[in-house]
């Protein structure tokens, strides 16, 4: 019973921390047999949204973002594309930052 209580407290703290920073993570789902997926979304001025995708060690994750309005980029880098050689297997995060007015965007993620 004590282990369950510890687990519930830890889970609540982690979920609360995620919400406190305003960065909900959304899973990117790849269609069966596909190596890339595109998600679309909207961001308020100064907003951020983070996604995650599962990858294995040695795979290459590439993310590209586009927007007709506003200035969006990946990880506050000022860049609209990002490449990562995966060193540690598991969920890899990709955060989209909006540095201008409210906007819509399209994010394409590939894992090869």
pLDDT at residue 13 is higher than 90: no
Task: Give the bridge partners for 40, in sequence order.
Answer: 106
**pLDDT score of 15:** 40
**What is the secondary structure of 41-109 as a DSSP string?**
EEE-TT-EEEEEEEE-TT-EEEEEEE-SSS-EEETTSS-SEEEEE--S-EEEEEEEEE-SSSEEEEEEE
Greater confidence (70 vs 3) lies with 70
50-59: pLDDT as tens digits: 999 999 999 9
Give dist(CA 64, CA 108) in Å, integer: 5
What average pLDDT does range 43-68 have in this prediction? 94
Please tell me whether residue 33 adopts helix, strand or coil conformation: coil
Tokens describing residue 39: 């998600």
Percent of the chain with pLDDT over 70: 78
CATH of residue 93:
2.60.120.380
Residue 73 located in a structural domain: yes
The pTM score is 0.76
Structurally, the chain folds into a number of domains equal to 1
Q: Could you list the residue range(s) of the whole structural domain that residue 62 is in?
A: 23-111
């Amino acid at each position: 019973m004590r282990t369950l209580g510890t687990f519930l407290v830890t889970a609540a703290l982690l979920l609360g921390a995620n919400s406190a920073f305003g960065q909900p993570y959304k899973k990117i789902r790849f269609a069966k047999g596909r190596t890339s997926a595109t998600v679309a979304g909207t961001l308020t001025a100064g907003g951020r949204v983070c996604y995650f995708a599962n990858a294995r060690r040695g795979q290459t994750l590439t993310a590209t973002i586009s927007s007709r309005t506003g200035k969006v980029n990946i990880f506050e880098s000022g860049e609209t594309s990002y490449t990562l050689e995966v060193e540690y297997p598991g969920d890899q995060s990709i955060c989209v930052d909006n540095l201008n007015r409210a906007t819509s965007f399209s994010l394409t993620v590939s894992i090869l």
